[in-house]
Each structure stands twice: as C-alpha cells, then as structure tokens.
C-alpha cells in the first residue's frame, strides 16, 4: 500500500512540475526574448566562441526560469513534500552550497569544507592589539554551530565547528574570548531555529545575558537584575520559515516558532539606521519596541523574500547608531557583527549611553582604526556566525 501511495504521489508531482514549467514558459516568453537580446548585445557574447555563447544563453534562460517560475512557492512546497515522502535526508541543489541536510534531531542544515583562517587571525589579532594600546576592552564572541558529527548522516562531514575552533586557538593574548559553546545548553535543537541558520531568539537573549555580565565585570557598568531578567516573552507559534525552509518548502521541515522579547521596564532611545555608508535610512525615537523592533514582520503569510527574523533590526544595515536617553552609565560600546547579532545588540544597547553597530560587509573598506579613534568606545565586541569565516567580508577593513 505504501508503495502504491508513493507511486501515485510521484505521478502527481511530475504532473504538477510539467504544469508549472509549461505555464512558466508560456507566460515568460517575452522575458526570454528580451534577455536573449540583451545577452547578444553584450561584449562578452560578441567576444565568445559558439559553445560559450550557447552557455551564456542557457544561463540566461535558467535565471529567468528561477525568477519567473509559475507558482514558485507552491512548487518548492510540493517538491519538499516529495522529498519527505521519499524519506530523503539530503535535498540536493544544482549549486551544492544550497544543498539542505536534515539532521537526526530535526534541524535543517548544510555542510561546509575546511576554512582558511589565516587572514582572520591576522586581522583580529591586529584589532585586539590596537584596542589594548588604546585601553579598549576587546571581546570576541565564540558562537556555537548547529552541527555535530553524530547529528549528520554518516556519509557527510562538516568542518564549520572545526574552523571556528582553529580560529580561536590562533588568537594572541590580547583577544578576550567569550565561549558561548561552554555556557549555553548542549542540545542544538534548543539553540537554533529548525529551518534557519540563525540561533533562535531565546538563545540570542541568553547570549546577551552572558555577554553583558562579562562586560559588567570588566567595565563596572553598575548592571542590575532589571536589565538582565525583567523582560516579556511572547511566542508566535508556527510562524517562521527560515533560509533552509525556504529552499525545501513548508512541509519538509515544518515551521518554526518565534519568540518576541521586549523589556518590561521603561526605555527611551534614539536610533539612526544607515542602510549604506553615509545614507540614513530612518531615525526612530521612543521605546525599545518602537525603535529597535519591527513587529510587522511577525506574520506567517510574509512574502518569502522577507523574513520574520527581520523583527529585530529589519535586515542588514551598514551602521546603527543608538543613543540611550535613559542611561545608567556613561559607557560607549562598538559592535562589529553579522546578522547573528541582530537580536543581541538591541538588548546590549540598553546598558550603554551610546552603542554603534557596524556590519563591515556593508561598510566596505572602512578605516576601522580611524573610526575607533574618533568614537572612543570603552569596549569592542566582535560577534559573527561561524558561517562568515568562509568569506572575508567581515574583516574587509583598513587598519590605518
């Protein structure tokens, strides 16, 4: 009986695939023609041989199909359901970097090769040395990674955690390391969204608590229990489909819950967001919820090009400048980060008079040491996902 059901499902899936592709071709005919004309006019096409020209046109067709595919979300959902029915633990993509793996604990994930840490070591050691010379406390946050050797299928090897471990081992004595792997629960399914590469909001908040306690011990912030524990937690059930979930559809890995965390106590902030260098996106004034969160993204029916994760930070920005109008000290903080910090930095900003948040991936070739000299922070935090060790965008800063 199971075999009959599986065969019927395969027939239905092939039928749906044929329908979507046929409709896509019919509805996008003019787009195909327009793109082909553009390609033929390009210098690359004119200077290519016959085989290379065919390849350029084929890539153009593939790109148009990916953008214009009829009922795209429905197709991905049904394709993921098809993989689930077949009990597939690996959902392959043409681009192997997009392949999704289902772990034994239910988390969706990906695997990564051995990373080269040479430039990271050099840049972060240099930044730590500069901080030490200027009496600034420098703290590297070692973030846990979702994969373990025993959670993956036996034939898959992931080197992301090893790359992160090797980087920390390469630091000089001026790099202070807060190892969250040692402080957070060991069960990875408690730390991360099932369908997304980010840690969940509860883990991000617990990380904030560990970070601010470390900073308080070094900077004498006068931290009180209110800023550690006096928060509201509201959980939205089955609302979030993360990065891996969007590649495999809502049936393959299911939906994630999302917990919205805000202070119970009074807050008053001014937040200036810079989408790109020097370009102000908006200025917000008011409470924590009104300035640092975007509840409009707490929507299960959100367009899949957007993300519930944007509830904190509204996506990647070059710089966020936060002034606390009700500070309990006069300290200043600089955070260098990727998107893993988007849920963490709003809470950290409550404990400083001023907090600046810089994403070097957007703030390219920033003269970081000059920036630091001008701002004069009391502490610098470097917080990134192990994933970003596979690019050097976060260390693409000028030292002098």
Query: pLDDT by residue for the chain (400 residues), tens digit each?
Result: 556 655 665 666 566 556 655 655 555 556 656 766 777 777 777 777 877 777 777 776 666 656 555 456 776 887 788 888 888 999 987 566 679 999 999 999 999 999 999 999 999 999 999 999 999 999 999 999 999 888 898 889 999 999 999 999 999 999 999 999 999 999 999 999 999 999 999 999 999 999 999 999 999 999 999 999 999 999 999 999 999 999 999 999 999 999 999 999 999 999 999 988 778 999 999 999 999 999 999 998 888 888 999 999 998 899 999 999 999 999 999 999 999 999 999 999 999 999 999 999 888 778 999 999 999 999 999 999 999 999 888 888 888 6
Would residue 13 count as lying in a domain?
Answer: yes
* Beta-bridge partners for 380: 138, 334
| Three-state DSSP class for residue 185 | coil
Same domain, 149 and 237: yes
Q: Which of 19, 61, 110, 76 is nearest to 304 (CA)?
A: 76
Q: Residue 47: count other Cβ atoms within 10 Å of its Cβ.
A: 9
Would residue 374 count as lying in a domain?
Answer: yes
Tell me how far CA of residue 60 lies from CA of 35, 38, 194, 222, 259, in angstroms.
Answer: 7, 10, 34, 59, 41
Same domain, 46 and 139: no
Residue numbers of the domain that contains 317: 118-395
* Beta-bridge partners for 357: 320, 335
Same domain, 132 and 48: no
* Beta-bridge partners for 336: 358, 382
Same domain, 60 and 137: no
Same domain, 129 and 48: no
Would residue 88 count as lying in a domain?
Answer: no
Same domain, 65 and 122: no
In the chain, % of residues over pLDDT 90: 66
Decide if 263 contacts 102 (C-beta within 8 A).
no
Q: Which residue has the tokens 């919820």?
A: 289
For residue 320, what pLDDT is reported? 97
Would residue 268 count as lying in a domain?
Answer: yes
Would residue 321 count as lying in a domain?
Answer: yes
Same domain, 65 and 134: no
Would residue 76 count as lying in a domain?
Answer: no
Structure tokens at 110: 């990906």
pTM: 0.85
**Which of 13, 45, 70 marks a domain boundary?**
70
**Which of 11, 43, 70 marks a domain boundary?**
70
Instruction: Report strand pairing: 231-240 vs 256-263.
Output: antiparallel
For residue 44, what pLDDT is reported? 75
Same domain, 295 and 367: yes
Would residue 400 count as lying in a domain?
Answer: no
User: For residues 57 and 89, what is the distance between their CA atoms, to the nearest angstrom?
Assistant: 34
Same domain, 65 and 197: no
Would residue 381 count as lying in a domain?
Answer: yes
Tell me how far CA of residue 177 lies from CA of 96, 171, 248, 320, in angstroms.
Answer: 33, 9, 36, 24
**Which of 48, 70, 92 marks a domain boundary?**
70
Same domain, 148 and 235: yes
Same domain, 168 and 62: no
Same domain, 140 and 12: no
What are the phi and psi torsion angles at 332 (to 5°)?
A: -125, 140
User: For residues 380 and 364, what is the distance between their CA atoms, to the nearest angstrom?
Assistant: 18
End-to-end CA distance of the chain: 70
User: For residues 112 and 32, what is the distance between their CA atoms, to the nearest angstrom?
Assistant: 35
Domains in the chain: how many in total?
2
Q: Hey, CA dihedral for 227, 232, 237, 238, is it positive or negative?
A: negative
Residue 115 gets which letter from DSSP?
A: P
């Amino acid at each position: 009986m199971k075999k009959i059901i599986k065969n019927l499902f395969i027939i239905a899936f092939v039928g749906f695939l044929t329908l979507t592709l046929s409709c896509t071709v019919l509805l996008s005919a003019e787009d195909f023609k327009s793109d082909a004309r553009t390609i033929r006019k390009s210098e690359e096409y004119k200077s290519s041989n016959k085989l290379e020209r065919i390849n350029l046109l084929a890539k153009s067709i593939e790109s148009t199909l990916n953008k214009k595919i009829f009922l795209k979300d429905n197709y991905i959902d049904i394709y993921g359901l098809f993989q689930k029915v077949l009990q597939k633990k690996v959902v392959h993509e043409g681009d192997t970097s997009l392949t999704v793996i289902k772990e034994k604990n239910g988390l969706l994930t990906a695997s990564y090769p051995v990373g080269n840490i040479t430039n990271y070591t050099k840049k972060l050691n240099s930044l730590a040395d500069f901080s030490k010379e200027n009496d600034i406390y420098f703290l590297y946050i070692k973030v846990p990674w979702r994969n373990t050797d025993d959670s993956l299928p036996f034939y898959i090897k992931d080197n992301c955690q090893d790359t992160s471990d090797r980087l920390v081992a390469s630091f000089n004595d001026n790099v202070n390391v807060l190892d969250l792997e040692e402080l957070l629960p060991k069960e990875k399914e408690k730390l991360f969204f099932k369908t997304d590469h980010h840690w969940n909001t509860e883990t991000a908040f617990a990380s904030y608590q560990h970070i601010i306690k470390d900073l308080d011990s070094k900077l004498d912030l006068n931290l009180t229990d209110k800023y550690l524990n006096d928060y509201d937690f509201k959980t939205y059930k089955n609302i979030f489909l993360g990065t891996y979930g969007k590649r495999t559809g809502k049936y393959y890995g299911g939906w994630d819950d999302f917990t919205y965390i805000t202070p119970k106590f009074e807050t008053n902030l001014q937040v200036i967001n810079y989408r790109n260098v020097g370009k102000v996106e908006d200025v917000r004034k008011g409470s924590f919820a009104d300035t640092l969160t975007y509840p409009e993204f707490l929507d299960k029916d959100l367009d899949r090009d957007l993300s519930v994760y944007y509830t904190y930070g509204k996506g990647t920005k070059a710089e966020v400048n936060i002034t606390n109008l009700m500070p309990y000290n006069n300290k200043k903080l600089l955070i260098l980060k990727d998107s893993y910090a988007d849920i963490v930095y709003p809470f950290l900003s409550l404990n400083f008079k001023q907090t600046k948040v810089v994403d070097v991936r957007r703030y390219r070739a920033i003269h970081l040491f000059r920036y630091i000299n001008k701002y004069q922070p009391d502490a610098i935090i470097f917080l990134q996902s192990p994933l970003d060790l596979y690019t050097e965008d976060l260390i693409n800063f000028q030292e002098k």
